[in-house]
Structure 1
Amino acid sequence: MAWWKESVVYQIYPRSFFDTDGDGIGDLRGITAKLDYLQTLGADVIWLCPVYQSPNDDGGYDISDYRAIMAEFGTMADFDELLAEMHQRGMRLIMDLVVNHTSDEHPWFVEARKSKDNPFRDFYIWHPGKEGEPPNNWGSHFGGSAWKYDPGTEEYFLHLFSERQPDLNWENPRVREQVYDMMTFWLDKGVDGFRMDTINMLSKAPGFPEASARGSERYVLAEEHFLNGPRLLEYLREMHERVLSKYDVLTVGEAPGVSPELGVTYTHETEGVLSMIFQFEHMALDSDPSHPTPKWSKVPWSLAELKRITSRWQDALHGQGWNSLYLSNHDVPRLVSRFGNDRLYRVESAKLLATFLHTLQGTPYIYQGDEIGMTNVQFSSIEDYRDVDTLNFYREQVHQQGQSSAETLAMIHAKGRDNARTPMQWNTQPNAGFTTGTPWIRVNPSHTEINVEAALQDPDSIFWYYRELIRLRRTHPVIVSGRYDLILPDHPQVYAYTRTAEQQQLLVLLNFSLDTVTLPWPGELPSPSTQLLLANYLAPQQPEEHLTLRPYEARVYLTCLHGGDGLN
C-alpha cells in the first residue's frame, strides 16, 4: 500500500505558526522548533504553504522566485535543516506547488510586459483590447475583471486571482519545461511531494468565450471555461511522466468543480496522475449559490447534504482512486466554528468533527490549530484584516455597493480567510507565545482559554483525542482500507456509517446536533457484539435496548468478524 494512504497530513501556514526572531512573522526555524510537538500529535506528513520568494500580495501564493526562500521565513539553509530534522524523525514534507500563475514581479513577467515580441511574452496569456473594455466578462476570484490592462504594450493579461498574479500560459511548452525543471529541483532536494494549488485551472477554453451571465453581474467567475479544461489531463499526464513517476511522492491537487467520476480519472490506482485531490462540494454546504457573492454568503447547512456528498465520494473512489479528507485549511473558516458549535460544545463538536475526518476512507488533513479547537476571530475593524480577498470584498461592498460596514464585517467574520490565519495559540502570553514582537496580524483573544500549553496538560483535551484517532488509524487497518457503507441515511441528526474489511467492522455514530438523540439498538444498527473503541464523552453510557447520544456525541465501535481476533 502506498505510504500516503496510511499517513496523516498536518498543514502549516508558516507566517502564523511560530516566530523565532521577534519580527512578528512565523519562520522556518519556528517550524523546526515545534517538530517534537507535531511528532507527539502523531502527524507524519507536513504540508507547508508557500515559503518561496514573494512580494506577498496573496499570502505567498504570488511567487517571484520558485527556487528561493522568502527572506521573512529564513534562508535555504534553514529549509534544508527543517527537511533534515523532519526526515530524521521519520516525517515527510510536501511543498505548495503554485503554477497556474506567478507574481507580477517574477522575472518572466517583468520581461513579458516589456514588449509584444519579448521572448517571455507568451509565458503569459495576453489579449488585445481597448483600455476600459476587457476582452470578455470573466471575473477574478478576488473581485472585478480577470483582465488587467497593461498600458506599456496596450494589451490585457489574464489573472484569475489578484491582478498581481498573472496566469501562466500552459499552452506554451517552454512554460511546462520550466515548471518541470523547478519541480525536479525540489524533489532532488528530498521533498516528499506537492500540494498543487488550483491545478485544474491550467487549461483555459480556446478563444476565451463569454461566461454565462448571472443576474446583473458585470463580471462572472467563468468556471465552465477554466476548470478541467480541454488539455488539463494532457498536461497532468505529461507532468506525471516527466517528473512525478520518477519519485515516490504524495501529490494532492486542489480541484474545485471536480465530479467523483473525474476524481477517479485523476487519482486512479493504476492510470491516475495524482495521489488524491481536494474536491470542494462539501465546502459549499453553507453557501447560497443565488447570492451575488456566493462564497461570502452563509446559510444553515444540511446534514442530509453532507451525507449525500460524502457518501458519493466514498463510494465512487473505493477501490478506484483515493480521497483527501478535510474540513478546513488556510482559505476557509475554522472547522469548529463552521461545522460544529464553538460556544456551548466547542470541545465536543471539535472531537466529533475529528472523528468524522479520521474514520472515513482517505488521507486526513489537519490544519494548524484544529487539534486544539481554535475558532474564528471577529475583529471589529477592517484595519485588523490582512487578506487581499477580504480587503477587496470590503472595499467593493462598502464603497461601491453601499452595504454597511457592520453587515460586511459580519460576512467576513463568518467566511473570511483570516479566520484561519491568526497566529497559532501556544500559551496565554499576550501574543499567545507566537512572537516576542508585534504579530503581523492580531492574535485571536480566545488564546487565553484555547492554547497548546493548556491542551497538553489536560488529558481529556482535543489534542489528545486527535492523537488517539491517529493511533487507532495506524492500529486498525479497517480504518484505512475498509469499505464505507452509510446507515440511517434519513436520520436528521445522526450521521452513522460502517467501515468493513475482512475481519473487522467499524461502526461510527455522530450526533451532529444540540439535541440528545435516542436510537433503537441494534434496530437498523449493526449488532454491538463489540468494543467501544473511542468516544468524545467521558464514561459513555453502555447500549442496552436503546442507545442515547448526547449533543455532538461521537462513538466508534469495533466488531470482530468471521471469528477473527481483530479487537486489539
Structure 2
Amino acid sequence: ADPASPYRDYYIFAGKDGVRPNNWGSFFGGSCWAADPAGTGQSYFHLFAKEMPDLNWKNPAVREEMFKAAEFWLKKGVDGLRLDAFIHIAKADLRQSYPSEDDKPVIAEDFFANRPEVQEWLAPFCARLREEFPDLLLLGEAASASINLAADYTDPKRNLMDSVITFRYFTEKEDSVNPAFSGQYQPKEFDWLAFKQNQTVWQQTLSAMPTLYWSNHDMARLATRIAKTPVQQRSLAMAMYLERGIPVIYYGEELGLHNLEFDDVEQFADETVADFVKEAGEAGVDEKTALAMASRTHKLPARGPMPWDGSQ
C-alpha cells in the first residue's frame, strides 16, 4: 500500500492516473492490469487471476526470497519442485502495446513468454538449489515453449530444468467447430495423426527425459476428452507411460475419473465461459447445451474432489 515501501518493487506497478500502461491481456480474460488498491492511479500486473499479482523477478531481492521459499520446502524433505509457469517470469518493456485494431486486451505472448531473462535469472537459482540438494528434481511448466526452447530449458549445460511440461502434445481438429460462435469451449475431435507426429518429435529431439502425461489441472480429463471406455483409458495409459520419459499422473486418472458437470455459469468462475455461453445463445444454442460443452472442455470441472469410500 505504501509506494515508498521496498516491498512495492516485489510486484509490477505501472501506468498513471488510472490509465493502463499497455493493452496486454490476461490468460484468465480481460486486461492483465488491475487498479492499485492503494489508490495511487497506477495498475498492478497479473498475467493470471487478479488475486495472483506477478512477482517482479527483475528485482534481485525477489529472486533471493524465491530461493529461500524453495529451500524451506526442500529442507523439509521434499524431493522436487514443480516450477509453475516459469516461462512467464520476464516481461518486455511495459510501454509497448501489442498491435491491434481495437482497444480490447490482447494475449501478447511475445512480450511475456520465453524471454531471454528467464534463463538468465533461473540458472543461478537452480544451481544454488542443486549445490545444497544434489538429488533435487526440477520439473518446469513450459506450456507454450517450442521444442527447441524445451531442449534449451532441459540442457544439462544450462543448469535449469530436469524436465518440462509442454501443452504441445495434444492437437484437436477444428473442422467440427460450429463457426456461428466461439470455438473456445466447443468439444473437438482429437487429431491422432498430429499426436503421433508431436510425440515423435518430442521423443527424438529432447536429450533430457520428456514428461509423459494425458491430463493435468489445466485441461479436461482424459476420460472426458478422448477415452470413452475403460479399455481405451488403459490402452492410452500404456501407450503413453511406456515411452521414454517421466510419467506425470493427474490425481483420479488411475480411477478413470470424468469431468464434473456444471449447470450454472458461475461455477466456472471464469468470465470467458460467460462470454462463450452468451455468444452461443446469440447463435441459437440454448444455455444448457452451452454449459454441457464447457463442462466437457473447461479445466475447472476436471478439478473435482478425489472420491473415497469407507473400505480399506
* TM-score, L = length of structure 2: 0.88
Deviations 1:139-163 (A, max 9, x none): 1111111100125111011100111
Partner of 1:353: 236
Partner of 1:101: none
Asked if 1:312 is matched to 2:201, the reply is yes
Please point out which of 277, 298, 302 is paired with 2:187. Answer: 298
Please point out which of 113, 118, 121 is paired with 1:232. Answer: 118
Deviation at 1:380, TM superposition (A): 2.5
Partner of 2:109: 223
Deviations 1:511-555 (A, max 9, x none): xxxxxxxxxxxxxxxxxxxxxxxxxxxxxxxxxxxxxxxxxxxxx
Give 1 or 2: higher helix fraction. Answer: 2
Please point out which of 192, 198, 201 is paired with 2:79. Answer: 192
Query: Using the alignment, how far apart are the partners of 1:228 and 1:333 within structure 2?
Result: 25
Please point out which of 260, 273, 276 is paired with 1:394. Answer: 273
Give 1 or 2: higher strand fraction. Answer: 1
1:424-435 equivalent positions in 2, closer than 5 A: 424-427=306-309
Query: Using the alignment, how far apart are the partners of 1:129 and 1:335 within structure 2?
Result: 46
Partner of 1:169: 56
Deviations 1:110-144 (A, max 9, x none): xxxx232221111111112343x422111111111
1:112-511 equivalent positions in 2, closer than 5 A: 114-131=1-18, 133-150=19-36, 152-213=39-100, 218-247=104-133, 248-285=135-172, 295-317=184-206, 320-341=207-228, 346-382=229-265, 385=267, 387-389=268-270, 392-398=271-277, 403=282, 405-427=287-309
Deviations 1:314-344 (A, max 9, x none): 0101xx2220011101221111221222xxx
Deviation at 1:418, TM superposition (A): 2.6
SS in 1 for 2:247: strand
One-letter identity of the residue aligned with 1:393: T
Query: Using the alignment, how far apart are the partners of 2:89 and 2:13 within structure 1?
Result: 15
Query: Using the alignment, how far apart are the partners of 1:312 and 1:401 within structure 2?
Result: 37
Deviations 1:194-239 (A, max 9, x none): 01111110011123522243x8681111111111112000111011
Deviation at 1:242, TM superposition (A): 2.1
Query: Using the alignment, how far apart are the partners of 1:205 and 1:294 within structure 2?
Result: 30
Residues 267, 273 of structure 1: 8 Å contact kept:
yes
Structure 1's 407 and 127: CA in aligned 2 closer, same or farther, altered over 3 A? farther
Query: Using the alignment, how far apart are the partners of 1:338 and 1:127 within structure 2?
Result: 40
Query: Using the alignment, how far apart are the partners of 2:171 and 2:107 within structure 1?
Result: 15
Residues 264, 272 of structure 1: 8 Å contact kept:
no
One-letter identity of the residue aligned with 2:203: Q
Query: Using the alignment, how far apart are the partners of 2:200 and 2:41 within structure 1?
Result: 51
Structure 1's 209 and 285: CA in aligned 2 closer, same or farther, altered over 3 A? farther
Residues 146, 159 of structure 1: 8 Å contact kept:
yes
Structure 1's 400 and 375: CA in aligned 2 closer, same or farther, altered over 3 A? closer
Query: Using the alignment, how far apart are the partners of 1:199 and 1:190 within structure 2?
Result: 23
Residues 88, 112 of structure 2: 8 Å contact kept:
yes
Residues 185, 293 of structure 2: 8 Å contact kept:
yes
**Is the radius of gyration larger for structure 1 or structure 2?**
1
Residues 287, 296 of structure 1: 8 Å contact kept:
no
Deviation at 1:379, TM superposition (A): 2.8
Residues 204, 230 of structure 1: 8 Å contact kept:
no
Residues 147, 202 of structure 2: 8 Å contact kept:
yes
Task: Give the unaligned 5+ runs of structure 1.
Answer: 1-113, 428-432, 434-452, 457-568
Query: Using the alignment, how far apart are the partners of 1:150 and 1:401 within structure 2?
Result: 34
Structure 1's 128 and 379: CA in aligned 2 closer, same or farther, altered over 3 A? closer
Query: Using the alignment, how far apart are the partners of 2:263 and 2:235 within structure 1?
Result: 30
Residues 182, 276 of structure 2: 8 Å contact kept:
no
Residues 325, 357 of structure 1: 8 Å contact kept:
yes
Structure 1's 281 and 116: CA in aligned 2 closer, same or farther, altered over 3 A? same
Residues 182, 280 of structure 2: 8 Å contact kept:
no
Q: Report % sequence identity.
A: 34
SS in 1 for 2:296: helix
SS in 1 for 2:30: coil
Deviation at 1:422, TM superposition (A): 1.4
Residues 325, 364 of structure 1: 8 Å contact kept:
yes
Structure 1's 237 and 336: CA in aligned 2 closer, same or farther, altered over 3 A? same
One-letter identity of the residue aligned with 2:185: W
- Matched residue count: 305
Query: Using the alignment, how far apart are the partners of 1:365 and 1:337 within structure 2?
Result: 18
Structure 1's 223 and 245: CA in aligned 2 closer, same or farther, altered over 3 A? farther
Structure 1's 191 and 257: CA in aligned 2 closer, same or farther, altered over 3 A? same
* TM-score, L = length of structure 1: 0.50
Deviations 1:262-283 (A, max 9, x none): 1111112444411100011124
Residues 204, 227 of structure 1: 8 Å contact kept:
yes
Query: Using the alignment, how far apart are the partners of 2:16 and 2:152 within structure 1?
Result: 38
Residues 140, 159 of structure 1: 8 Å contact kept:
yes
Query: Using the alignment, how far apart are the partners of 1:240 and 1:177 within structure 2?
Result: 12
